[in-house]
A and B are shown apart, each in its own frame.
Chain A
Amino acid sequence: MIVLKDLSKTYKVGPSTVRAVDKVDLEIPRGQMVSIVGHSGSGKTTLLSLMGGLTKPSSGRVIIDDINIWTLSDKEISKLRNEKIGFSFQFASLFPTLNALDNVRLPTTFSGGQPTDHNRAIELLKLVGLEDRIYSYPGQLSGGEQRRVALARTLMKEPRLILADEPTGDLDEDTEADILDILKRINGEGVTIVLVTHSRAVASQAQRALRMHRGLLSEESE
């Protein structure tokens, strides 16, 4: 379960202070798929980063599985991100000097690596339909293929929480459908998914829809 309590993030922009996230309270039960919609600059991505421990809140708490993550050391929070959280970003986030297989295996570098990692990475590449591009480098892959590899990497460590920022942005309809299908399948296995999107169609796939507006979070149905 993820609990956000009175969570705020402010930035100094010149003389003024911008409240990117403003006193957000939220509970997401385990296994729920939640979408967050909102205009650009509404604070969606910042909220996602706060949930994943990528940025430190100005105030408030982020509690994952009963642990206030900002009480953890860098080593512990890194371990938490490695073992429990999978991030999916809105840009191609592959490492150009690693082939698809190694890009997928990359998260295992930080936890020592296991002999089974190789096979799991291949299985995941099969899952995203890239079994014939295992040894291709990012420069040899299309934008859609790169996003699929990135999704496979997100799943590599079998995260219990996936934080996806525009996971289907800029993709063609077929690839978008494939990626949503995979996310729904993963969610069906009990993985909590929070996805930030501009697309109402994508948002509609979630069990719960939230709206972000000027740093304030509300249920979409309200």
Chain B
Amino acid sequence: MKRLGLLYLAAQNLRRKPFRSFVTIAIVGLAAGTLFSATLLIGSVDRSLEVGMERLGADLLVVPAGYQESGQAALITGAPTSFYMDAGILNQVKNITGVNQASPQLFIESMVSSQCCTGHVQLVGYDPGSDFVVSPWLKDNLQRSLNQNEVVIGSLILANKGEQVHFYGHSFDVAGVLDATGMGVDESVFMSLDTAYLMAQESAQVAESPLDVKPGQISSVLVKKSPDTNVDQLTQRIKTNVPGTTIITANELSRSVTDRISGFKRGFIAVDAIVWIMSLLTIAAIFSMIVNERQREIGLLRAMGSSRRFVFRLMLAEAVFLTAAGGIAGIFVGGAALFIFKAIITSSLGIPYLWPPLLTFVKLMVITMLLSIVSGAVASLYPALSSSRLEPYAAIRQGE
């Protein structure tokens, strides 16, 4: 035998006007979905930046003058690029006061037809002796450095550990797959500098399209500053002492991403605020209508022995049911929309993306749900209070 409790009555009441209930759920769902998906997107970008920058491990990058934007794009989204400068620059950088560590990298765009990948991927040659990007990972996960025909790949490269990938006529064994960062690293293939030079050298014989990269060329120098050095001062020193280069600082990278999503953030805040206000007003209007329509019933409930508090709670429960349903719908639809359109959004905004850990995901769901429920309770507060204050006899007569 089912219990005729307050929640049951509230649920039954909502069945009366399914279209009205649906519209209320849809409006709250829109507000909740916008909040959920946009917060998730922003949080994922932030997380990606955090993880990606940690993986990069450098305070700044020295690249040839004129390649600041393509260097940033390669690091943030993995957009393949290739530019070169003389390896002698490495020593110039190393000798600058305030430089703690400096390590060269060589960028090579793969050919479109590479077996593992759709489109170009970024091949990155690193110096095992000085590297602080891949080597710490190798130390933790492989307990050795890479052999000549081995590579470590980013998480989005379609190959598994132990499989082979092929670039410029060379086959490489995949020694490991790096953890996802949401940044360019995920779409990069790392090999030692010597291997990269060898691949370039032999490409003339074995590749369809030979590489024009010679030993003694590098693409960037990753720099770790000394603990007591100011990044801006160090940047200035490098600019002065190493002409023909430009500097990308880690802060600039972060700022570049932040700038790209700042417009989106502003737009989101404005749109979501409008949608939430609209949903609050709609709920308030709908519940005022409900109270008017159901005056006689409220009077009857009071005549049967319901207290004012019960009537108040009944109205609140109806509102909370609707807004909770809206919250759930918003979370699922918003989450699904983000999942489906993530690639389009991130490529059009040029931002990195890394799904948050499960706990963050759950927290965001709970916050969205709570906000939806509180909105329902707040918006229906006045109508609920009015209904509870109706004099039973007057309510019954006015409902006639």
Answer yes or no: A167 CB below 8 A from chain B CBs: no
Interface string of B335-371 (1 = CB under 8 A from A): 0000000000000000000000000000000000000
CA distance A110 to B305 in the complex (A): 6
Shortest C-beta distance, A116 to chain B (Å), equals: 10
A109-B16 in contact given A52-B303, A54-B303 (Cβ < 8 Å): no
CA distance A89 to B296 in the complex (A): 11
A105-B4 in contact given A91-B400, A95-B297 (Cβ < 8 Å): yes
The one of B4, B6, B12, B393 in contact with A54, judged by C-beta atoms closer than 8 angstroms, is B393
Residues of B within 8 A of A102 (CB): 4
A interface, over-half SS:
helix
Interface string of B288-317 (1 = CB under 8 A from A): 000000001101101111111110000000
Are B310 and A55 touching (Cβ within 8 A)?
Answer: no
Interface string of A182-210 (1 = CB under 8 A from B): 00000000000000000000000000000
Answer yes or no: B285 CB below 8 A from chain A CBs: no
CA distance A93 to B39 in the complex (A): 48
The one of B12, B303, B306 in contact with A97, judged by C-beta atoms closer than 8 angstroms, is B12
Residues of A within 8 A of B306 (CB): 78, 82, 109-110
- Most chain-B Cβ atoms within 10 A of its Cβ — which of A87, A108, A109? A109
Residues of B within 8 A of A110 (CB): 304-307, 310
Shortest C-beta distance, B315 to chain A (Å), equals: 15
Shortest C-beta distance, A221 to chain B (Å), equals: 29
Residues of B within 8 A of A111 (CB): 305
Interface string of A38-56 (1 = CB under 8 A from B): 0000000010010010111
Are B391 and A109 touching (Cβ within 8 A)?
Answer: no
Answer yes or no: B9 CB below 8 A from chain A CBs: yes
Answer yes or no: A215 CB below 8 A from chain B CBs: no
Shortest C-beta distance, A156 to chain B (Å), equals: 9
Are A54 and B396 touching (Cβ within 8 A)?
Answer: yes
Are B396 and A81 touching (Cβ within 8 A)?
Answer: no
Are B304 and A97 touching (Cβ within 8 A)?
Answer: no
Are B307 and A74 touching (Cβ within 8 A)?
Answer: yes
Are A55 and B304 touching (Cβ within 8 A)?
Answer: no
Are B305 and A75 touching (Cβ within 8 A)?
Answer: no
Residues of A within 8 A of B296 (CB): 91, 93
A109-B6 in contact given A91-B400, A118-B1 (Cβ < 8 Å): yes
- Most chain-B Cβ atoms within 10 A of its Cβ — which of A75, A78, A93, A118? A78
Are A75 and B303 touching (Cβ within 8 A)?
Answer: no
Residues of B within 8 A of A93 (CB): 296, 300
Residues of B within 8 A of A82 (CB): 304-306
Answer yes or no: B15 CB below 8 A from chain A CBs: yes
CA distance A82 to B13 in the complex (A): 22
CA distance A81 to B305 in the complex (A): 5
Residues of A within 8 A of B300 (CB): 89, 93, 95
A75-B309 in contact given A97-B12, A113-B4 (Cβ < 8 Å): yes
A49-B393 in contact given A91-B400, A98-B12, A110-B310 (Cβ < 8 Å): yes
CA distance A79 to B304 in the complex (A): 9
CA distance A52 to B391 in the complex (A): 12
The one of B5, B13, B15, B302 in contact with A109, judged by C-beta atoms closer than 8 angstroms, is B5
Answer yes or no: A106 CB below 8 A from chain B CBs: yes
Q: Which of A19-49 contact B (CB under 8 A)?
A: 46, 49
Answer yes or no: B392 CB below 8 A from chain A CBs: yes
Answer yes or no: A96 CB below 8 A from chain B CBs: yes
Residues of B within 8 A of A118 (CB): 1
Residues of B within 8 A of A98 (CB): 4, 12
Answer yes or no: B139 CB below 8 A from chain A CBs: no
The one of A55, A83, A87 in contact with B391, judged by C-beta atoms closer than 8 angstroms, is A55
The one of A55, A95, A97, A106 in contact with B392, judged by C-beta atoms closer than 8 angstroms, is A55
Answer yes or no: B204 CB below 8 A from chain A CBs: no
CA distance A106 to B6 in the complex (A): 10
Shortest C-beta distance, B294 to chain A (Å), equals: 10
Residues of A within 8 A of B393 (CB): 46, 49, 54-55
CA distance A111 to B6 in the complex (A): 12
A107-B304 in contact given A97-B12, A102-B4 (Cβ < 8 Å): yes
CA distance A90 to B300 in the complex (A): 12
CA distance A210 to B70 in the complex (A): 98
Residues of B within 8 A of A95 (CB): 12, 297, 300
Shortest C-beta distance, A188 to chain B (Å), equals: 24
- Most chain-B Cβ atoms within 10 A of its Cβ — which of A81, A83, A111? A81
Are B396 and A89 touching (Cβ within 8 A)?
Answer: yes
Answer yes or no: B266 CB below 8 A from chain A CBs: no
Question: In the complex, which residue of chain B has the Cβ closest to the Cβ of A156?
Answer: B304
A54-B392 in contact given A91-B400, A96-B16 (Cβ < 8 Å): yes
Residues of A within 8 A of B302 (CB): 54, 78, 81
Shortest C-beta distance, A72 to chain B (Å), equals: 12
Residues of B within 8 A of A46 (CB): 393
By Cβ-Cβ distance, the 5 closest A-B pairs, closest first, are: A82-B305, A55-B393, A54-B393, A97-B12, A49-B393
Please list 24 pairs of residues, one from A and one from B, whose beta carbons are closer than 8 Å in the complex, sorted by A's number.
A54-B299, A54-B393, A55-B394, A75-B307, A78-B302, A79-B305, A81-B302, A81-B303, A82-B305, A89-B396, A91-B296, A91-B400, A93-B296, A93-B300, A95-B12, A97-B12, A97-B15, A106-B4, A106-B304, A107-B304, A107-B305, A109-B6, A111-B305, A157-B305
Q: Which chain B residues have a beta carbon within 8 Å of chain A's beta carbons? A: 1, 3-6, 9, 12-13, 15-16, 296-297, 299-300, 302-310, 391-394, 396, 400
Interface contacts beyond A46-B393, A74-B307, A95-B297: sample of 6 additional A-B pairs, CB < 8 Å, sorted by A? A55-B392, A93-B296, A93-B300, A109-B6, A113-B4, A157-B305
